[in-house]
Structure 1
Amino acid sequence: MIDDELRARLESLGGLDAGPGSLAGVVVIDVTRVVAGPYCSMILADLGATVIKVEHPDDPDYTRTFPPMLERDGADAFSGFFAQYNRNKLGVTLNLRHPEGKVALERLVAQADVLVENFRPGTMDRLGLGHERLREVNPRLVYAALSGYGQSGPYRGRPAYDNSAQATGGLWSMNGPAGGPPTRVGTIIGDLAASLYGVIGVLAAVRHAERTGEGQLVDVSQQDSVLTLTENAVVSYTTEGIVPEPLGNQHPFVRPYELFACQDGFVFFGGYTDKFWKISCEIFGAPGEFDDNPDLQTMGARFDDAVYAERVKPMVERWFSGRTKAELEALAGDLVPLSGVKDIAEVVADPQIAARDMVVDAEYAGYGSLRTFGSPVKLDRTPPRARGIAPDTGEHTAAIFRDLLGYTPEEIEELRAAGTI
């Protein structure tokens, strides 16, 4: 860990809040790109870690070109996509193929607590900067490696994207319309899940390193991460031999628990327990509808395929068809699980999202304000910093090399002239 004075000096370079975050003093070297990796290190940065993003001087993170773009007169555009996953970081450029670039990274690692990388397994070893080498440089280093298939196993060397994980982790095969072809989940769930598990692994390993002085490898696979998101699929297969298939918006056994049409769109309704079913009948049904259908009063009866399709679902459809999302939520949203299905414009304007500070503004000089998602982690003593900005390519290289690594101005210029930084 670095001391408070140096931390404050470094973070002031990026206009970052150097307040007492939960991870204040923890230094993270971020050798990642795209999402799986950058999101992991960004969460650590939100929680107070000093994160130094390392990019190749001639080939920086290519999400810097991803839309949407912030524009300003007479200057290059800045990617909102990149900004969303790289806020609160300091940026340096470093060519890890140059001998002096390797030396510089090792000097960074010597000052660090954590390194996060998301290359294909073996890449860092071929550079001479793999886990075993960096452990020699810093025995307490937590080395987090996020990859498609992990650091071991027959697939370890395969290239992978998020879709690779959705395909091989089982999720893709389960998602989609009933009776139709499998459909990918509509976001990069494999990347995001790996990032979240990466954070969990890093926090556990940092705790161990603080107690023992011993670092370790945190090995997170996108395929593994996706597999854990398949709910009951594994145990359904291993105990009953059932291979889940796409069910559309239905749950495999809980009913009613799905999408229902209403006057101006759709709602999710999950009134499947006996308690919620009785309340729903009393709110929406005709007088006496609950008592008039004693054979529908237990979950077991309502879960029966035929009973649900022929009696329960038509009843719920009748309840909802003549009402709007807002009317349904006003009638029952505080009493049973019933929520309007909102598009992203409605979500951004949602009062609950506002109350939870989940859409935040960050000011980019010359570009204006960028609104992105906030932090879902709420800490009352050390709240995450969610309004930071992302760095320009190599924005803090000279300052970090000078203040953290002790390079002289002349040495920095020599590195720049050689294309090392």
Structure 2
Amino acid sequence: MQSKNQRALAGLTVIEIGNGAASAYCGRLLADAGASVTAVTMVGDPPTIVREQTDAEQAFSAYLSADKFVSDAPLELEAIQRLCRVADLALIGEDSNFSAFDVNPKKATVDLTWFGRQGPYEAWKGSDLVIQALTAMPHLAGPVEGPPLHAGDRHATMIGGVTAYIAALAAMLAKPTRVTRRLELSILEANLVVSEMHIYYVEQDGAPIKRQGVNRFSPHGPLGIYPCKDGWVGITATTPDQWKSLCIVLGMEKEGTDEKLATRQLRFERLDEVEKAMINALSVGTAEQWAERGRSHRVPIVVVPDAAGILSHPIFAARESFANLFTRSGLFKVPRTPFGLIKTPTRKTLNAMDGELIAQPGPSAHASQGGPLQDDLPLSGLTVADFTMGWAGPLASRLLADLGAEVLKIEAGRYPDWWRGVNWTPEYVAAKQYENTKHYCALNRGKCGISLDLTSPAGKKLALALVAKADIVIENQAAGVMEKLGLGYADLVAVNASIVMTSMSAFGTGNAWSGTRAYGSTLEQGSGLPHFMGSPGTPPTMAHMAYGDPVGGLYGCASLLTALFHKRRTGEGEYVNISMVESMLQFTTPALLQYQADPAAPLRRGTRHSLFAPHGIYPCAGEDRWLAIAVESTEMFASLARVIGHTEWIGDAGFDLAECRRRRHDEIDAAISAWTKKQEPHQAAAILQQAGVAAAPALHTEEIVKNPHLIAAGFFIDLIREISGPQRQAGVAIMQNGKRLGAHTPAPLLGEHSWPVLERHIGLERAAYEALVNESVITFAPASLRSMAQKPDDQR
């Protein structure tokens, strides 16, 4: 039996090569989970990722390097090659000049780049702002008149890093080969998970999505952040029942009985009026009081904590959501890796003071076991029992399908995936509109669809029989639902002692806030992240309508692969108790370090950056057209000055250093805007990138599927599905041996694969199957009596 505190990735050896925050964050996750990570740079690469010698910046660098063996000087190629020959994995940074083909670790390389190895953007300069602009995420956030708002520093690189972690673990779980498996990952493509829902809504509705203002996302109302007597609360009330319950909680009887406010669309049309009444009601109580009342009435209301509130949060304390980071300049608290592993927890203490380099790499010991490398998918042979619905859970299981796993999606006519629709009228069902929702189709490609009524003894028995043959179970139901169905972890272990079960809920299971009703918006609000976005004088500002969903899906997938690695090594299964709010909490790390280093420092800067200048989103020619620019060096600033016709700035001491430019940001911004207002954003970005300046058009959602770079890179998956027809879907950001991964079978119709799956996996006979169909244990259409009021509250 393994020790409870043994790390999941014990025995895994990793060489992290080169420079880049995304690769360093991937290495951070690997080290936290127990891998031995050695970070090196090659002669000629930048020696550090510290961008300026500030306490906060050095603390973040210490966070990324904690518990790694860290090189104190660049190495020659031959020395790095010797290190890699005895390692399992080589991880190559996005800002490195290193070639992945120069090393041959025993199992795999993971090669990160900003934009991939082919396409018009291949040689572009990348940054968090540039990546976000190309996902169209900023376009939907901020004031109607602009500028659009970026989510914040390090978000894009962290998403790239956790996606690289998924690629790395998939490679470690793949069949052994005689040659090194080569995986590549584009940070831009990894970040497009945040855009998927909007892409499919544009396709579904046939109309572009416009920016509606701070904390406003059409057609949802109310969905935002509101002041209380003390503090702020995040509220999302979209269904008729939630709206009525919210009005009861707030004492808004008049609004609760107004039929002209019955739907979210009607409320959005009168949102000024609705929010004024809400703010008036909220003013008599504290954020904590309103959140408690929301939980008691099953309404998605959460406290939106500021930096101090995050660090003292009672549920974060109960779940030990923070680790202690020991650095040479002191002790900091940082969000812990949010994998929720019960048997093999991630580190609670991070040491950034004692890293050292293995001075003399050992002799070559390249593995010779395994067969030749073919086109096998990394997770082929893995079976997943998938009880997820909505966005976050299905994204996690779709990533498994994209990487080669067999995913058995289990739903039922009485309770189908809520992304199939909301209007369960006889007419809706008869027209099979539940098979037409584009977001459902995209999030469930590559899966086998099984219909089982889990509330019936026969349906539960069949589900347990499938679990008995599975490697993994994943679910994102509201906390407690699986236990009520007799499908909790204890029930699953009884039929499969080594099962890995991953539960994804807002605040995790087993604590005072586990019953919190949540959407992706609730997860962002509850993490406190909005306190670090937007401009001074505005409310805490949300970056996305449902940011927590795609982010939670990525960390959910990473968590279960981590537990699976431990199972493959030891034979032990594990319960994975994920809090998706903690996944969002990762993005607060830079701001929390800044707050602890200097509590008086501003944490909200609009589109400006704490270090870089100029940095922002600038108006271009045309209606609501914008250009993102991120100048990260004096050399880059000189190139910008030449392009916009201000060569007098070059060599001027008043512009030479970033600190100087930050003081003159208004002056520089005015000059940049004077130039950009005359430019088309795509052409302007190309001109600046040609000059070596990190820039990109701030895309609108509808432009993503037409983006020439993504098309040239082969990112999209075009599928034709019965009933719903053709659809262009976002692909997976991971390539293997030069080929794009990703499942190419369309999402299942309800119950489409029930018979072949049950016959193949549990040996069900045809006569027994027909009896189950006749008894409505297996169905192929939703029950027509299900009403809108019965739509589940938890939309993740």
Fold shared, TM-score > 0.5 on shorter chain:
yes
- Quick one: which of 168, 184, 187 aligns to 2:542? 184
User: What letter is aligned with 2:714?
Assistant: D
1:181 and 1:164 map into 2 onto residues whose CA distance is 16
Shift in CA distance, 247/281, structure 1 to aligned 2, threshold 3 Å: same
The residue that corresponds to 1:297 in the other structure is 656
- Quick one: which of 211, 222, 240 aligns to 2:569? 211
* Shift, 1:337, TM fit: 0.3
Shift in CA distance, 285/32, structure 1 to aligned 2, threshold 3 Å: same
2:546 and 2:574 map into 1 onto residues whose CA distance is 28
Normalised to the residue count of structure 1, the TM-score between the two structures is 0.87
The residue that corresponds to 1:14 in the other structure is none
Normalised to the residue count of structure 2, the TM-score between the two structures is 0.47
- Quick one: which of 356, 363, 383 aligns to 1:27? 383
The residue that corresponds to 1:41 in the other structure is 397
* Shift, 1:371, TM fit: 1.1
Shift in CA distance, 221/344, structure 1 to aligned 2, threshold 3 Å: same
The residue that corresponds to 2:634 in the other structure is 274
User: What letter is aligned with 2:614?
Assistant: P
- Quick one: which of 509, 522, 530 aligns to 1:151? 509
User: What letter is aligned with 1:301?
Assistant: C
The residue that corresponds to 1:399 in the other structure is 756
Q: Is the 8 A contact 2:412 2:750 kept in 1?
A: no
Shift in CA distance, 139/244, structure 1 to aligned 2, threshold 3 Å: farther
- Quick one: which of 756, 771, 774 aligns to 1:417? 774
Shift in CA distance, 49/244, structure 1 to aligned 2, threshold 3 Å: farther
The residue that corresponds to 2:598 in the other structure is 240
* Shift, 1:366, TM fit: 5.0
2:508 and 2:592 map into 1 onto residues whose CA distance is 20
2:471 and 2:635 map into 1 onto residues whose CA distance is 50
- Quick one: which of 738, 741, 754 aligns to 1:384? 741
Q: Is the 8 A contact 1:179 1:247 kept in 2?
A: no
- SS where residue 696 of structure 2 aligns? strand
Residue by residue over 1:326-351, the C-alpha shift from the partner in whole angstroms, topping out at 9 and shown as x without a partner, is 33223221311011111123222221
Q: Which moved more, 1:224-233 or 1:106-115?
A: 224-233
Q: Is the 8 A contact 1:114 1:143 kept in 2?
A: yes
Q: Is the 8 A contact 2:638 2:649 kept in 1?
A: no
The residue that corresponds to 2:617 in the other structure is 259
Shift in CA distance, 418/76, structure 1 to aligned 2, threshold 3 Å: closer
- SS where residue 762 of structure 2 aligns? coil
User: What letter is aligned with 2:649?
Assistant: E
Q: Is the 8 A contact 2:718 2:729 kept in 1?
A: yes
Q: Is the 8 A contact 2:404 2:743 kept in 1?
A: no
1:123 and 1:255 map into 2 onto residues whose CA distance is 50
* Shift, 1:374, TM fit: 1.2
1:118 and 2:476 correspond: yes
The residue that corresponds to 2:492 in the other structure is 134
The residue that corresponds to 1:319 in the other structure is 675
2:649 and 2:534 map into 1 onto residues whose CA distance is 34
Shift in CA distance, 279/37, structure 1 to aligned 2, threshold 3 Å: same
1:273 and 1:332 map into 2 onto residues whose CA distance is 14
1:285 and 1:152 map into 2 onto residues whose CA distance is 61
The residue that corresponds to 2:448 in the other structure is 90
Q: Is the 8 A contact 1:66 1:82 kept in 2?
A: no
Residue by residue over 1:86-109, the C-alpha shift from the partner in whole angstroms, topping out at 9 and shown as x without a partner, is 000000111222122221111101
Q: Percent same amino acid at aligned positions?
A: 27
1:41 and 1:23 map into 2 onto residues whose CA distance is 12
Q: Which moved more, 1:205-214 or 1:74-83?
A: 74-83
1:244 and 1:168 map into 2 onto residues whose CA distance is 21
Shift in CA distance, 49/272, structure 1 to aligned 2, threshold 3 Å: same
- Quick one: which of 50, 57, 62 aligns to 2:418? 62
* Shift, 1:111, TM fit: 0.7
Residue by residue over 1:332-391, the C-alpha shift from the partner in whole angstroms, topping out at 9 and shown as x without a partner, is 213110111111232222211112222221011354311111111222277422432000
Q: Is the 8 A contact 1:166 1:190 kept in 2?
A: yes
- Quick one: which of 518, 521, 524 aligns to 1:160? 518
1:170 and 2:520 correspond: no
1:79 and 2:451 correspond: no
User: What letter is aligned with 1:347?
Assistant: I
- SS where residue 210 of structure 1 aligns? helix
* Shift, 1:49, TM fit: 0.3
User: What letter is aligned with 1:368?
Assistant: G
- Quick one: which of 371, 374, 379 aligns to 2:728? 371
Q: Is the 8 A contact 1:21 1:383 kept in 2?
A: no
Q: Which moved more, 1:339-348 or 1:246-255?
A: 246-255
- SS where residue 323 of structure 1 aligns? coil
2:650 and 2:760 map into 1 onto residues whose CA distance is 72
Q: Is the 8 A contact 2:477 2:505 kept in 1?
A: yes
1:303 and 1:414 map into 2 onto residues whose CA distance is 73
* Shift, 1:75, TM fit: 5.1
2:610 and 2:657 map into 1 onto residues whose CA distance is 18
1:63 and 1:132 map into 2 onto residues whose CA distance is 29
Residue by residue over 1:272-331, the C-alpha shift from the partner in whole angstroms, topping out at 9 and shown as x without a partner, is 32121122123323344313x322101121123xx222x322232233232222332232
Shift in CA distance, 148/337, structure 1 to aligned 2, threshold 3 Å: same
- SS where residue 734 of structure 2 aligns? coil
Shift in CA distance, 382/132, structure 1 to aligned 2, threshold 3 Å: farther
* Shift, 1:117, TM fit: 0.4
1:243 and 1:358 map into 2 onto residues whose CA distance is 41
Q: Is the 8 A contact 2:715 2:740 kept in 1?
A: no
User: What letter is aligned with 1:275?
Assistant: E
The residue that corresponds to 1:16 in the other structure is none
- SS where residue 319 of structure 1 aligns? helix
- Number of equivalences: 395
* Shift, 1:247, TM fit: 3.3
1:244 and 1:36 map into 2 onto residues whose CA distance is 32
* Shift, 1:110, TM fit: 0.9
1:214 and 1:124 map into 2 onto residues whose CA distance is 22
2:646 and 2:668 map into 1 onto residues whose CA distance is 14
Shift in CA distance, 251/286, structure 1 to aligned 2, threshold 3 Å: closer
Q: Which moved more, 1:196-205 or 1:385-394?
A: 385-394
- SS where residue 534 of structure 2 aligns? coil
1:243 and 1:296 map into 2 onto residues whose CA distance is 23
What CA RMSD, in Å, does the superposition of the two structures yield over aligned residues?
A: 2.3
- SS where residue 507 of structure 2 aligns? coil
The residue that corresponds to 1:336 in the other structure is 693
1:349 and 2:706 correspond: yes
* Shift, 1:177, TM fit: 4.4
Q: Which moved more, 1:241-250 or 1:321-330?
A: 241-250
* Shift, 1:112, TM fit: 0.4
Q: Is the 8 A contact 1:179 1:246 kept in 2?
A: no
The residue that corresponds to 2:715 in the other structure is 358
Shift in CA distance, 365/156, structure 1 to aligned 2, threshold 3 Å: closer
* Shift, 1:113, TM fit: 0.4
* Shift, 1:245, TM fit: 5.5
Gaps of at least 5 residues in structure 1 are 2-18, 68-73
User: What letter is aligned with 1:44?
Assistant: L
* Shift, 1:246, TM fit: 4.5
Q: Is the 8 A contact 1:194 1:222 kept in 2?
A: yes
1:388 and 1:401 map into 2 onto residues whose CA distance is 19
* Shift, 1:52, TM fit: 0.4
* Shift, 1:125, TM fit: 1.7
